[in-house]
Amino acid sequence: MQMIIGGALGRMGRELTLAAEAAGVGIACGVDVAYTGQPVGYPVVTGFEQVKETADVIVDFSRPEALPELLKLAVDNKIPVVLCATGYTDEEIAMIGEAAKHIPVLRSANMSLGVNVLCELVRMAARTLEGFDIEIVEKHHRMKVDSPSGTALMLYDAAQKEKGPETEPLYGRYGRTQKRTDGEIGIHAVRGGTVTGEHEVGFYGNGEQVVLTHRAENRALFAQGALKAARWLADKPAGLYSMRDVVLAMLG
């Protein structure tokens, strides 16, 4: 398999490079706006519109700003895409949906298999723990730009789909002067130090608590998940997929 890496020189791009090399996956080209000509072992360009190489899949860990050029390259050349960036706008999400009519696109806010298993556990808990209050707390390093994390929102969506449309997110409680309502799910963000990533979903009932936690100890696990997603997606028909599809396929 040959792969194009978006954000090739960033932290996750470098992790994906190492994972691909270890797995015997070829890297046809890298794309990174910060590229200044330094050798990295494979061709690198500063924009997707400059890519001349062909590949079996594109894995993107760059920024949402690169999405239009990325999707044009992918659709024009019928290349499946794994989108690992977070912070997409509604307009950009619509662009992704349109592209998925023509090519397979897998989009996930978190490429960790463990986090996506956590999502399944959250669905199960939200479905069965009737009357329990739900709170989500996420922690990341001080350099993370978006808040709350895309993974926290993914976990909220998992719970909300089970609880129903009357459920709504509550981002922190600063200035609140009323007691907790039955329909709210609290979402809280912590930023500091070098925390790779931690997500906790708590279910608080009458006399008991169930707390589900995932801690990322290093970034390599996200690269491994992205690589697994890329291999899974490469032969799929056009459509919009997620890491949940990968996890469910593993479960049979």
How far apart are the C-alpha atoms of 218 and 220, rounded to whole Å?
Answer: 6
Q: What residues does 27 pair with on adjacent strands?
A: 3
| Spatial strand order in the sheet of 168-171 | 168-171, 184-191, 133-140, 197-204, 209-216
* H/E run at residue 199: strand 197-204
The catalytic residues are 140, 144
Spatial distance between the Cα atoms of 108 and 222, rounded to a whole number of angstroms: 11
Residue the block writes with tokens 């963000």: 189
Provide the pairing of β-strand 184-191 with 168-171. parallel
Q: Which amino acid is at 2?
A: Q
